Amino acid sequence: MANITIDGKALTVKDGITIIEAIDQAQIGLPRYCYHPGLSIAGNCRICQVEVEKMPRTVIACNTRVAEGMVIHTKTEKAKESQQVVLEFLLANHPLDCPVCDQAGECKLQDYYMDYGLYDPKFNDVKVKKEKKAVSVGPTIMLDQERCILCTRCVRFGDEVTKTHDFGVFNRGDHSELDIYPGKELNNKYSGNVADICPVGALTDKDFRFKMRVWYLGSQDSVCPGCSRGCNIQIHYEKSRPYHLKTERVMRLKPRENQDVNKWWMCDEGRYGYKPIDKNRLQKIRISRSTNGSDPSWLMALEKTATVLRAAKPGAWGVLASPQSTNEELHLVKKIFKDLLKIEQVAFFAPGQEGFEDDFLLKKDKNPNSAGAAEILKVPGGGDLTPVVEAAKAGKLEGLFIFSHDLAKIYGAETLAAVRKAVKTVVYEGPNENPTAEAADVLLPSSSYAEKDGTFTNFEGRVQRIRRAVDPLGVSRPTWQILADLGALLGAPWNYTRAEHVFNDLAKENAAFKDMNYKAVGSSGLLWSRK
């Protein structure tokens, strides 16, 4: 360990770390462009200048290692001057057209000018023109060479993280240009990250470009539901603006740092997988296919469901639970269907739905909570839906409660038709439209993951929280709430008003979740206690 002082603050830090790491640990602000903790040190932007006592000149914090007794200043005149003049150089040839730049509002040139710049600009000459303005470099990203400050974060991301070697810096001096290698396109499974790490408006995300000014965005921490990795994300949604035509509320997803799960990154599949939150949503409660007139209320729908469930013969219902549901929701599935109604035919795993997997982030299981479903439901045979679906097809079930699964997608339209024909009552609970929802007798529109609180358990048993970013769309309600009410109607002894209460009970009843609560799970998650 080394004892150092930064801005008068005495710190004990690990030997051999860089000054900027020490500064970040102490949460002292310092500007940086090329430095990124997930990439190698480039030291080219030169803005992270600090003054170190006994050194003649200011040094860059990203490539200077701490030493015992080092006294570092980030805010002395000397340090501030160094930071300021470097910023002036970076802005010399940078277009000053922030009002038409999509990065405005989250641009580090803007931010640092306000925080560390505020100089009187002296540049009075013609700026260097570069060829590629708003040019597509691949399916997801646009490049604007004039806005690039050549920090090479994207170059290093391609070289070091994805190893796809997409970008390079071409030419020399102030004619240096960032570009994709000739004949290549940026088309890898993690391409969106380059827009995140680009500190300026040089690489922007086609999906988000000019969709919304960032200052209209709210942000909520959550977890990506795209696969069993459970990358930590932020949901960026539109803050309520009554005068704005609302077609979409969730505008984009951004990765959130979690060293144990996804570092700083996320895949494109997850990043652009947010569309179902605002598209093809189930908007109406339905009790029976023959119902005419006004829409039924939640009370009517749940009472109807409770009635048929209460009247069911023992063993005559099947439940297709979902690994898209939260731990809380699955816990209520277990309490209601297994414990209370004694239904044996409970499954959750849809076979044949595996997707792409690599040795980085992507997992082939495209459900966020398969581990939680297996642990909580404890169903034999891996929880495969097929035996239940086969029983339904064979006319052995009078009722089927389906959570989110689309039988047409998993087994084909014929199976759905056969099930529909053989089963008297089909209850469908889910957020999005699909043929199975269409075919159901009772339709319970549920909220998307962005509209509720809860937890997912990822592939390695890490319990992580999702949080409500936007309100449930239309009449939809979170699954845990639907189940809590249904349970109450069926006589369950509970009165849950928050997902957290369900979780607390889960923690009491399931050893894997022992001693967990929302506060303890926090923003980075907790691993199951293994027996």
Question: Which residues make up the interface to another protein (CB under 8 A)?
Answer: 41-47, 49, 57-58, 63, 82, 85-86, 88-90, 92-93, 122-126, 128, 149-150, 169, 171-176
CA distance linking residue 286 with residue 444, whole number of Å: 7
Q: How far is the CB of 182 from another protein (least distance, A)?
A: 15
- Residue 157 to residue 168: CA distance in whole angstroms: 11
Burial annotation 122-159 (CB, 10 A radius, 16+ → b, else e)? eeeeeeeebebeeeebbebbbbbbbbbbbbbbbbbbbb
DSSP class of residue 115 equals I
Shortest spacing between CB 179 and another protein, in angstroms: 13
For the bound state, the minimum distance from the C-beta of residue 51 to another protein, rounded and expressed in Å, comes to 13
For 36-43, the CB contacts below 8 A with 24+ separation are: 36/153, 36/156, 36/197, 36/264, 37/264, 38/161, 38/263, 38/264, 38/265, 39/153, 39/156, 39/157, 39/160, 39/161, 39/197, 40/156, 40/160, 42/151, 42/152, 42/153, 42/156
Shortest distance (Å) from residue 375 CB to another protein: 47
β-sheet bridge partners, residue 65: 18
Q: Which contiguous run of DSSP H or E holds residue 402?
A: strand 399-403
Return the number of the residue (121 or 395) whose C-beta is nearest another protein.
121
If the CB atoms of residues 119 and 356 are measured against another protein, the closer one turns out to be 119
Q: How far is the CB of 361 from another protein (least distance, A)?
A: 29
* Lookup result for tokens 């691949």: 138
Q: Shortest distance, CB of residue 171 to another protein, whole angstroms? A: 7
Our measurement of the distance from residue 232's CA atom to the centroid of its chain's CA atoms, rounded to an integer in Å, reads: 5
Nearer to another protein, 46 or 256 (CB): 46
| Shorter beta-carbon distance to another protein: residue 169 or 488 | 169
85: helix, strand or coil:
helix
Q: Please report how close the Cβ of residue 466 comes to another protein at its closest, in angstroms.
A: 41
Smallest distance, Å, CB 195 to another protein? Answer: 21
**Structural tokens at position 485:** 């009410």
Report, in this order, helix, strand and coil percent for the chain, each rounded to 5. 30, 20, 50
CB of 174 to another protein, least distance (A): 3
Q: How far is the CB of 184 from another protein (least distance, A)?
A: 17
Q: Phi and psi dihedrals of 92, rounded to 5?
A: -55, -50
Q: Smaller CB distance to another protein: residue 150 or 203? A: 150
CB 342 within 8 A of CB 314: yes
Q: How far is residue 404's CA from residue 266's CA, in Å, rounded to a whole number? A: 24
Between 63 and 234, name the residue whose CB sits nearer to another protein.
63
Closer by beta carbon to another protein, 82 or else 258: 82
For 201, phi and psi rounded to 5 degrees? -95, 25
The least CB distance from residue 92 to another protein, in Å, is: 4
In the complex with another protein, the residue whose CB is nearer, 47 or 186, is 47
CB of 200 to another protein, least distance (A): 12
Tokens of 374: 């297996």
Amino acid at 179: D
Cβ atoms of 55 and 4 closer than 8 Å: no
Q: Which is nearer to another protein, 176 or 432 (CB)?
A: 176
Q: Which residues pair with 345 in a beta bridge?
A: 318
Q: Considering beta carbons, is residue 89 or 360 the nearer one to another protein?
A: 89
Q: In what order do the strands lie in the sheet with 462-466?
A: 454-457, 462-466, 526-527
DSSP 187-203: -STTTTHHHHH-SSSSE
In this complex, which beta carbon is closest to another protein, that of residue 42 or of residue 418? 42
Complex with another protein: residue 111 or 257, whichever CB lies closer: 111
> Closest approach of Cβ 186 to another protein, in Å?
20
Do 338 and 346 touch, CB atoms closer than 8 A? yes
Please identify, using beta-carbon distances, which residue of 66 and 149 lies nearer to another protein.
Answer: 149
Paired tokens of 120: 């009187």
